[in-house]
Chain A
Amino acid sequence: MTTLQRAPARGVRAAPNRPVISKLLGISWVNAGWIPVLSALALTLIGIFAISTTQPSLAARQTAYAAVGLVMAAMMVVPLPALIERWSVRVFVATLALLVLLVAPGVPDAIVRPRNGSRCWIDLGPIDMQPAEFAKVAWILASAWWLARAADLKSRLGITLPLVLTAVPVVLILMQPDLGTALLFFPTLLAMLLAQGARRKHLVIVVVTAALLAPASYPFLKPHQRARIDSLVAQIVGDERYTRTIGFQGDRARTLIGAGGVFGNAEERAGALVKFNALPEEHNDMIFVVAACRWGLLGGLTIIGLEAALAVGAFWIAVSTRLPFGRLVGAGVGAMMGFQAFVNIGMTMGLMPITGLTLPFVSSGGSSIVASWMAIGLLFSISARDARAGSMMGGSARRGGDA
């Protein structure tokens, strides 16, 4: 098994020996950060085309958001990662404040407009902001900051405390309620603990306990959540009883993915199929379905491959960097985006119950794409400032020493 190694020292600044052209920013252009950047860029483009299949007007907005995201990503490259590290807790507290605002009693609907029964959005006039998307990134940063300084992760307390701290944003997000987003935090935390060298035994205990507790939680779920799990199980055993009720979305999603075949359908036809099969949330949570219907097996594989490349790229950066903060951010961002993509694609194909989760960079949604691009910018910044000629060939940190 691959293990992420601890960097030799903390707070090490970027290496001084860089190409002249990058000196202004203090970055190296040749680095592993390009893997997530290029993957995200490709996914963003695929997303825009997929959205335009059914919602051309949304595709235009998505393009604008993507542009904003790219600018924000570029801006994330400017400050030194150390500066970001120093500000991370403050940023996290600020996003927590926004999360509190969403669920605080007495907040007028004009500010927090409920949609589909959830209080996830802050009304900013022409656009809405979804604080949870930014909170995800801010939490990774804050956790990285904390874990990089944490005393002893090998002790039981060392591993319990981060879990408890993670519970704060999770509880706030659950109150919106947004179960899907909340569920992303713990696997991400696990990945970060793993990256920081927590005892595998402890982590295994946590994972096994969670795995054992998961079925036990079934009776405590809300009826509609239980029904979703029921419909998932039913669908797997070929029982079509939920296809008109709670399983409707999943059934239509699988049907449309299947309709994509190997090579997909022409744009107009794919649009018609999606429209008249009445797939709900097709531009959003279900964007993978539209893409698969449009570009078939090949398109679906491309998206899966790009999402995987993005996660793997992030892990690579985590492995490469000598910055403990950077390593933790790389592991966190990679784990979160990879897990989110896996759950999203899995749920469209009936491998998992349907929860409100977007597909990173592909789904329509401003906050999501901007926050995601900011995370990619940060990864690039970490990678670029830490990169050396051989870093993209792997294992520079392990070899130790500067070029």
Chain B
Amino acid sequence: MLFVIALLAVPVLTARLFVLTVVQGGRLSDRAEERLDTERLLPTWRGKIVDRMGRVLAEDVASYDAAVSYPLAKGTWAYERATEEARSALGRAAWRALSVEARQRETDARLAPWQHRQTQLHEVLAVRGGLSSAELEARLQAIAARIDSRTAAVYERALASRRERGLSLDIPSEPIREMREFHPVLRDIAPETANELRKLADTMPGGVAVADATRRNHPWEATEVEISRERLPRRIRTSVPMVMRLEGALDGLLGSIRHETWEADLKRRPFEKTLDDGTIEVDLGGYRVGPDSVGARGFERQFEDTLRGSRGQVTRRLDTDEEDRIAPVPGQDVRVSIDAQLQARVQAAIDPRLGLTRVQGWQSHSEGLRIGDALPAAAVIVDVATGEVVAAASTPTPETVTRSGPLVVGAETASMNRALEGAYPPGSIVKPLVYLAAVAEGAVDEGESVVCSGHYFNDRTDVARCWIYRSQNQFATHSARTGAPLAIEYALASSCNIYFYTLAHRLGAQRLCDWYRRFGLGTMGGSVISSDAAAQIDARHDTFATISLGIGQGPLTVTPLELANAYAIIGRGGVIRPPSWRSGGHQPNTRLDIPPTAIARAQEGLRRVTAATYGTAHHMEYGDGSRDPIIDVPDVTLWAKTGTAEAPPLRLDRDGDGVAEGSFADADHAWCVALVGDSWNETPKYAIAVIVEHGGGGGRTSGPVMAAVIRALVQEEYLGSARSRVLGPVEVGAVR
């Protein structure tokens, strides 16, 4: 019997050995082999963002971070060190033999010096980081909480996967990688602080470390701009130029970087991807859980994939010490379409300190507003030839809010760039588009004239009126003033509503809205009702809704950039070239089917807006009857349009108690959109859109802002200078 038992045991062991070495041999061998390799990632550098002139707007520079371990963040570091010290002092075996209480005693006896060091570190971190001890504590807790929640998530996932496979759920939660790593608590510390912390780190194993890091440096963080005030409207005109310091004029465009990856990043471009055949593909530029640099907003986000670069990797063979090195690939630089100096000048032009975007006496402002109230505003410049966005400024900025205290309007949306994200009814700005659409659709002959009777409906004088048909004008009409029906040039220059009501009515809402979309309206943040919804307006013969769309009112909002782009299309003779944020890129282009002669007529109408005495942006009249030209810039040709758009009621809460004291329906948005070129060359070079929220009349409020923006273009030699422009490195610094 013993022989049998002995001989039975042999095949059992043999069979199992066969399974392990032969059947599973390959897989197990690979697994054993894998443990001979260690992998280490090498950091990479993020690409620079430079402006169209090559000025550096954002770049990585070396810096130091103060980083703490998980136990230190959690507050268990001193205790862990004391326990470790006790264990090694007593020997592992003796330690194991001790009761829980005895171990506790041994640890407690050694705790004080470690706790002292922990406190000392807290003090250093708080002082050097300029934090209160509560703030530091909050940061440490946030680090620990993040790792704890991550651990919980990993555990949850393990449980979920086990549940799926029908395995027992009685498993312990395992420590994760982040628990062994250091986590930045103070970023970009001074070199002296780094030295101090390094010394401290020597006495605090596993507590604190100084990590080499990179900091995103923004050389154009602060700029100074000198602005001439000689040609401003009379009330704020002076021969003394203003020197304005601007903080973060580019912040909104450049955006920011966050230092932690989010679930969406991991999904979009994971560091490790398991392929269908079970192999793992590593993308060294991909995202991993934990600290990383990720473009969060603005250009940093838009060009993330270009800027990001790809980590390096060192694979070390433990038994032979051989190393395989994949060098890090630095991120590529991105040359954006923005001109930093021009941007600063445009920002200064709309800054309330200059006065153009404050409520002023020469404006027709809402009765709810008071002289001096700062109004939100935006300005954007698009290069007509290329579609590149050269500047896009917005006020208020977060910095304005900090600097000037409570604002009456717009403080809560200060972080938004209104030039790109603000959606407003366009008002009369759409009028040239309506004309071009009507001609293209054959709804009107190019040279057709329309009678301005003051009101569109014969039987009603109180709705669908021309803006000129008012009691203070003795119910004048454009046709009465000219003694003839209006051709398009006059209709545009005087912004006659009746002309465009007529065209819109003939076109119908659906065709009109389709054309708006072709001009890019509602495609970059604004909204134009859908073709189907517009068709329903036509189907129920809602004339009022249809003709309202013809003067840019109704279910239609646009962003300043959309309007600048639409005017750039007119400037290009009907060629569409989507706005671009990169300098020197090639944009696809398509041409709208509009007769060139119609475009020429529309451009002539726009030219007369500032050139003809009846143009809406020709002059402003002061109380004493004297006049000043609204846009007074020599050596440039202008094709402009003003717009006074009915805005949603303005709710004012001056005492900031959260309850609006008043709601004002008369606070129209003031638009001015223009094409501008050199006087000796009748080609539009830049399309500019300016809006002053609740600024009242487009001509009087936004006109002077437009003038200031054009002067900025001239000063930066984009216009008016006969010399050919030298593009190349320009000294970085203040715009003086």
Instruction: Please list the residues of chain A having a beta carbon within 8 angstroms of any beta carbon in chain B.
Output: 1-4, 113-117, 191, 194-195, 234, 237, 239, 241, 244-245, 254-262, 268-269, 272-273, 275-278, 292-293, 296-297, 300-301, 304-305, 308, 311-312, 315, 318, 331, 334-335, 338, 342, 345-346, 349-351
Contact = CB atoms under 8 A, between A and B. Distances in A.
A255 B32 contact: yes
Instruction: Give the top 7 A-B pairs by smallest Cβ distance, nearest first.
Output: A258-B28, A272-B319, A259-B32, A297-B21, A259-B29, A349-B16, A117-B96
A337 to B, nearest CB: 10
A363 B17 CA distance: 19
B33 A259 contact: yes
Contacts of B18: 297
Given A3-B1, A301-B17, 4 more contacts: A259-B33, A276-B318, A308-B7, A346-B12
Contact of B319 (A254, A269, A296): A269
Contacts of A276: 35-36, 318-319
Interface stretch (B69-77, B165-173, B609-617): B165-173
A257 B319 contact: no
A38 to B, nearest CB: 17
The main secondary structure of chain B at its interface with chain A is helix
A262 B28 CA distance: 13
A5 to B, nearest CB: 13
A2 B20 contact: no
A156 to B, nearest CB: 21
Contacts of A346: 12-13, 16
B703 to A, nearest CB: 72
A1 B21 contact: no
18 contacts: A1-B4, A114-B97, A116-B93, A239-B162, A254-B28, A255-B28, A255-B31, A255-B32, A259-B32, A261-B29, A272-B319, A273-B36, A277-B32, A297-B18, A300-B17, A334-B6, A346-B12, A351-B16
The main secondary structure of chain A at its interface with chain B is helix
A276 B316 CA distance: 12
Given A255-B28, A262-B22, A194 B2 contact: yes
B21 A296 contact: yes
B14 interface: yes
A241 B17 contact: no
B25 interface: yes
A199 to B, nearest CB: 13
Given A276-B319, A296-B21, A304-B13, A258 B32 contact: yes
B93 A292 contact: no
B319 A308 contact: no
Interface of B: 1-4, 6-7, 9-10, 12-14, 16-18, 20-22, 24-25, 27-29, 31-33, 35-36, 93-94, 96-97, 158, 162, 165, 167-168, 171-172, 174, 318-319
A284 to B, nearest CB: 16
A194 B4 CA distance: 13
Given A261-B29, A351-B16, A114 B36 contact: no
Contacts of B21: 257-258, 260-262, 292, 296-297, 300
Contacts of B10: 304-305, 308
A272 B10 CA distance: 30
B20 A304 contact: no
Contacts of B167: 234, 237, 239, 241
Nearest to B158: A241
A117 B172 contact: no
Nearest to B27: A258
Given A244-B174, A331-B2, A334-B6, A258 B20 contact: yes
Given A273-B32, A304-B14, A345-B13, A195 B2 contact: yes
A338 B9 contact: yes
Contact of B93 (A1, A117, A315): A117
